[in-house]
Amino acid sequence: VQLLSGSTKTAISFSTSAVSGIGKYALYLNNADSNTVTRSYLSNSADAAARFEAGSDKNILSLSTVTSSADGASALYFNGSDSNTVTGSYLINLAGTGAELLSGADYNLITQSTMVSNAAAYRALYISGSDSNTVTGGYLKNAAGIGAWLASGSDRNTIILSTITTGGAGSSALYIAGSATNTITQSYVINSAGDAAQFDAGASSNTLDRSTFTTLGSGASALRVTNADRNMVIDAWLRGPGGTAATLEAGADRNLVLRSSMVSAGAFPALYITASATNTILQSYVFNSVGDGALFDAEASSNNITRSSVTATAAGVSALRLSNAAINLIVDSRLYGPAGY
């Protein structure tokens, strides 16, 4: 099915469109507006199943299955298309990406939909160079790789009331790099083997809010901030039973953790700050039943823990350990190590 320039207000329902060809699509929109596809099945074994090209705006895809099996392709592909709505749909490519928004695909809404990948090199949701998109009530799963990736130039996007899950040891369930002012709120993010969420180089002014982040991987982090600045974690639960709840490393500066819980039950510290400066832990709870509560090392400087509780209950460990760390502040906080330091 092709809806080309000037195609508007076309309705497709209760239909099947299946193709098998590179450069061919079960559904293709180019400069086509205000069309509706509902209760349909779209499939391509060699390329993207549904592709919305530049100028294809205000279209609706609802209650449909969109599936590709092509290596590296996306089940649903938006390229420079705005204000489209995907609702109640299933977007899957086990060998590629579930949904991909590129090159100025802005103000799109994906609601009550499932996005699935099973490929280590790809992701369930990928947003690059696109702004102000919203995913709400979504289920994003990649058993082998990244669940949701917000890449360079992807700003002001929101993921709300969603679940993001992966089992990739070398991947993060949520990965944000080179992008700013994105918000993850009221969501559940889990990785059974690696990091749950990572802010990487160039990620700034992003917010994790009222959400739970869990890693079940040994030595992994529920939240890892690497060379990323001015991000905020607010009213969150960070859990790393066999790893670290929160890691700030390699130039992760001026980040804020507010009213959040960081809990671990392993040999790794619940909170680990290394080679990073001027971060603030405020009105938060840090707890480890096996290892150190918090560890600052490798020239971690000018960080502060204020009006917070840091506890380590095991013998011989520290509620707070500082090693080669300078000018850090502990203000109006409780440090408790009943069997250690």
Is there a contact between 92 and 99 (Cβ–Cβ < 8 Å)?
no
**Mean predicted confidence (pLDDT) in 133-138:** 98
Question: Mind listing the pLDDT tens digit for each residue in 233-264?
Answer: 999 999 999 999 999 999 999 999 999 999 99
Question: Mind listing the pLDDT tens digit for each residue in 14-28?
Answer: 999 999 999 999 999
The pLDDT value given to residue 243: 97
CB atoms within 10 A of CB 50: 30
**Mean predicted confidence (pLDDT) in 23-38:** 97
pLDDT confidence tier of residue 171, bands split at 50, 70 and 90 = very high
Nearest to 90 by CA among 108, 75, 105, 71: 75
The pLDDT value given to residue 155: 98
Q: Which two tokens stand for residue 171?
A: 């991947």
**Mean predicted confidence (pLDDT) in 175-186:** 98
pLDDT confidence tier of residue 29, bands split at 50, 70 and 90 = very high
CB atoms within 10 A of CB 304: 16
Give CA–CA dist 25/101, Å, rounded. 16
Nearest to 162 by CA among 94, 109, 227, 119: 109
Task: Name the residue with tokens 């995913």.
Answer: 135
| Percent residues over pLDDT 70 in the chain | 100
The pLDDT value given to residue 173: 98
**Mean predicted confidence (pLDDT) in 126-131:** 98
Q: Enumerate the β-bridge partners of residue 100.
A: 77, 126
Q: With H, G, I as helix, E, B as strand and everything else as coil, classify residue 243.
A: coil
The pLDDT value given to residue 133: 98
**Mean predicted confidence (pLDDT) in 121-139:** 98
The pLDDT value given to residue 19: 97
Question: Mind listing the pLDDT tens digit for each residue in 204-244?
Answer: 999 999 999 999 999 999 999 999 999 999 999 999 999 99
Average pLDDT over the chain reads 98
Give CA–CA dist 55/99, Å, rounded. 18
